[in-house]
Amino acid sequence: MNPQQIQSLLRDVAAGNLPVEEAMVRLRRLPFEQLPFATLDHHRALRCGHPEVIFCPGKTPEQVVEIARHLADHEACILATRASSPQIAALRQAFEAGGRMEVATAGGTILLNAKTPAATPLAGLASGQPHAALVSAGTADLPVAEEAAMTFRSMGVATARLNDVGVSGLHRLLGQLEILQDACAIVVIAGMEGALPSVVGGLVACPVYAVPTSIGYGASLGGLAALLGMLNSCSANVSVVNIDNGFGAAFSASLVCQQVAAATGPRPAMPK
């Protein structure tokens, strides 16, 4: 149950449109719900601004579907990450006919009833809405970028997206400075040596969340080289999440954007 649902429930009780007993029935399953294989935290949206996310590895397809069904009783938007093909197929069968279900197959990310449209290069700029930027170094990093993009959308944060702008062709990034410098927070995803977040951090006055990916030749050690490079960044505004953790980076960046939006409201639109 999210803050809007709680407010609506209280208003209905105050207006006499909902008996107290019925309100108690609706609240009875808060703050958590015990399933045979999981304990669902229905208060997470109230505390943290986002419902519990389904981390799919280690769960059977049936367990993933059951968790999603119970979350759907409380939340309109549901996010599942790192889903396998059987898990995706089970979720499609259970939900695709009844709502807007989107799947980023490469990253195994599923989103039910997204709060915002898909990211475009100028998303957020035209309306003046506080927004994030999502930057990926190469096409091989797209699975992690898709996870981050779905996370932004699940949190209702407009996102300007730049793909394949790594340091081996730096002019591709420098040609997008306006988009980068107007963002409230930036997620930068890179494998290989992981240099891109330091470059971006030196160009902007906002938090940069660096995501090392497990992309690269043998000496990249499955993303360890990129992780260590990012941890040693000389750009003071760069913070680093774990290897391939697009979700964690986008979640943190979304909180920054939400705080900016709450404090300032919509910003003037950028000139076209």
Q: How many structural domains comprise the chain?
A: 2
Mean pLDDT of the region 173-194: 92
In a domain, 9, yes or no: no
- Answer yes or no: do 89 and 182 share one domain: no
d(CA 40, CA 1): 12
pLDDT of residue 71: 85
- Answer yes or no: do 66 and 137 share one domain: no
Any idea what the CATH number is for the domain that residue 146 is in? 3.40.50.1970
- Answer yes or no: do 245 and 155 share one domain: yes
pLDDT of residue 23: 77
Domain that holds residue 50: 31-112
Residue 115, pLDDT > 80, answer: no
pLDDT of residue 99: 63
Higher pLDDT, 8 or 244: 244
Q: Which of 112, 146, 166 is the last residue of a domain?
A: 112
- Answer yes or no: do 106 and 140 share one domain: no
In a domain, 84, yes or no: yes
For tokens 């096409």, name the residue.
139
In a domain, 3, yes or no: no
How much is the mean pLDDT over the chain? Answer: 85
Paired strand residues for 272 = none
- Answer yes or no: do 139 and 256 share one domain: yes
- Answer yes or no: do 107 and 210 share one domain: no
Residue 271, pLDDT > 70, answer: no
For tokens 């090392």, name the residue.
212
- Answer yes or no: do 209 and 259 share one domain: yes
- Answer yes or no: do 159 and 245 share one domain: yes
pLDDT of residue 45: 74
- Answer yes or no: do 143 and 238 share one domain: yes
- Answer yes or no: do 44 and 159 share one domain: no
pLDDT of residue 1: 56
Q: Which of 83, 112, 141 is the last residue of a domain?
A: 112
In a domain, 87, yes or no: yes
pLDDT tens-digit map of 142-168: 999 999 999 998 888 889 999 999 888
In a domain, 65, yes or no: yes
pLDDT interval class at 272 (50, 70, 90): very low
pLDDT of residue 50: 80
Residue 28, pLDDT > 80, answer: no
Percent residues over pLDDT 70 in the chain: 86
In a domain, 183, yes or no: yes
pLDDT of residue 158: 87
pLDDT interval class at 80 (50, 70, 90): very high
pLDDT interval class at 137 (50, 70, 90): very high
Token output for 190: 């890179």
Query: Structure pTM?
Result: 0.80
- Answer yes or no: do 107 and 154 share one domain: no
In a domain, 214, yes or no: yes
Q: Which of 112, 147, 162 is the last residue of a domain?
A: 112
In a domain, 253, yes or no: yes
Mean pLDDT of the region 226-248: 96
Instruction: State the SS3 of the chain.
Output: CCHHHHHHHHHHHHCCCCCHHHHHHHHCCCCEEECCCCEEECCHHHHHCCCCCEECCCCCHHHHHHHHHHHHCCCCCEEEECCCHHHHHHHHHHHHHHCCEEEECCCCEEEECCCCCCCECCCCCCCCCCCEEEEECCHHHHHHHHHHHHHHHHCCCCEEEECCCCHHHCHHHHCCHHHHHCCCEEEEEECCCCCHHHHHHCCCCCCEEEEECCCCCHHHHHHHHHHHHHHCCCCCCEEECCCCCHHHHHHHHHHHHHHHHHHHCCCCCCCC
Mean pLDDT of the region 239-243: 97
Best CA proximity match to 153, nearest among 196, 202, 101: 101
d(CA 56, CA 166): 30
pLDDT interval class at 124 (50, 70, 90): very low
- Answer yes or no: do 99 and 149 share one domain: no
d(CA 82, CA 242): 15
